[in-house]
Amino acid sequence: MDLYEHQARQLFEEYGILVPRAEVTDSAEEARGIARRLGGRVVVKAQVKTGGRGKAGGVRLAADPAAAELTARQILGMDIKGHRVGTVMLAQPVDIETEFYVSYVLDRAAGRFLAIASAEGGMEIEEVAAQRPEVVARVPVDPAEGVTSAKAQEIAAAAGLPPRTVDVLVRLWEVLVREDAVLVEVNPLVRTRQGRILALDGKVTLDDNAAFRQTRWGAEAETRADPLEASAVAKGLNYVGLDGEVGIIGNGAGLVMSTLDVVAGCGARPANFLDIGGGASARIMADGLSVVLADPAVKSVLVNVFGGITACDAVADGIVRALETVRLTKPLVVRLDGNNAARGRAILDARAHPLVEQATTMDGAARQAARLATAA
């Protein structure tokens, strides 16, 4: 479960990490009073669970309380990558000297955590990592040993961070461990002209398996979750939204992950992860298609199914019956393989829906879906 920035900020403060003074509101009128309490000049930040807020216009500087109210009014209700802005955080501006990037992320494949840090943080950290990977340090962290002062010094030295960040690195590790997080990120972590080290922005993702221990975030997560993910949860679907244009539906987490990789290799971006599991009834397919097609960024949909316990003809029948209740508005590429695949393909051929295409291989299906998405 992702936390909002103001929730991550709250955690940082609880663990002794310095953050600017800030308050959260869902009212433009209240934003004026908050700005007045914070000294007049404030940064108004959209609270959504996605990146790219700054480039989308969701982070703006307001010179005085009146401007803060106007800015909050403009940001509230914005759509940022499919996330509607329901609240804003107003924070005191900071006199920044240098920006850094620090994070801990779970490395599932290696069975450990990875510290990622750079002396060049800020909005363009992705470009920095892609163009100059040598300035981004990646230091493995043994979960049994954790981040001691010595380990934090190793991370800081590898990334070229100043010595005063060592204490922050230790405290961020405490956040990760004690709050059952799989990701803790600060971008930027800044040094002010007065020499203070502050966390200006934060991202924290909690382990869903530990939700029973992290109940304090539950109510807000339920009421303010991404609408597509909330809709998928209500339908019992395993869905994660991504920033792409090819909708993905598959049976089995491993197959879906492989499909995402193959689509990306064909020059397109996956729009989501959606695992329908072992079943592919008409209801499940209808629910899956309705969620994926509700994403306005989706230009094509790829259904990739390997028939095992659930045979491909049952999947095809589910797709056909789902098309009776779901209005298909984007091209749909279907790849069926495994148990009763030929029979399943015949069922789809007989339906002959004008927007449904078939492919016999995963690579071929991915190429078709990518071509259709980029041509749309």
Give, for all 376 residues of the chain, the pLDDT tens digit: 889 999 999 999 999 999 999 999 999 999 999 999 999 999 999 999 887 888 889 999 999 999 999 999 999 999 888 788 999 999 999 999 999 999 999 987 788 899 999 998 776 676 766 778 888 999 999 999 999 999 999 999 999 999 999 999 999 999 999 999 999 999 999 999 999 999 999 999 998 888 788 778 764 544 445 678 878 877 888 888 888 999 999 988 888 999 999 999 999 999 999 988 766 677 788 889 999 999 999 999 999 998 877 789 988 998 998 898 888 989 999 999 998 999 999 999 999 999 999 999 999 999 999 999 988 7
CATH assignment of 21-91? 3.30.1490.20
pTM here? 0.63
360 touches 337 (CB < 8 A): yes
Here the tokens at position 129 are 């990592």
Residue with tokens 């003809």: 313
Here the tokens at position 196 are 């203070």
Annotated active-site positions, please?
101, 185
Which CATH architecture group holds 227-375? 3-Layer(aba) Sandwich (3.40)
Separation of CA 61 from chain center: 25
Q: Is 42 exposed, middle or buried (0-12, 13-18, 19+ CB in 10 A)?
A: buried
Neighbours of 108 (CB within 10 A): 8
Nearest to 4 by CA among 17, 16, 22, 18: 22
Classify the C-alpha dihedral 296-301-307-310 as positive or negative: positive
| Residue ranges matching CATH 3.40.50.261 in the chain | 227-375
| pLDDT tens by residue, 283-292 | 788 889 999 9
CATH assignment of 96-213? 3.30.470.20
| Residue ranges matching CATH 3.30.470.20 in the chain | 96-213
| Residue ranges matching CATH 3.30.1490.20 in the chain | 21-91
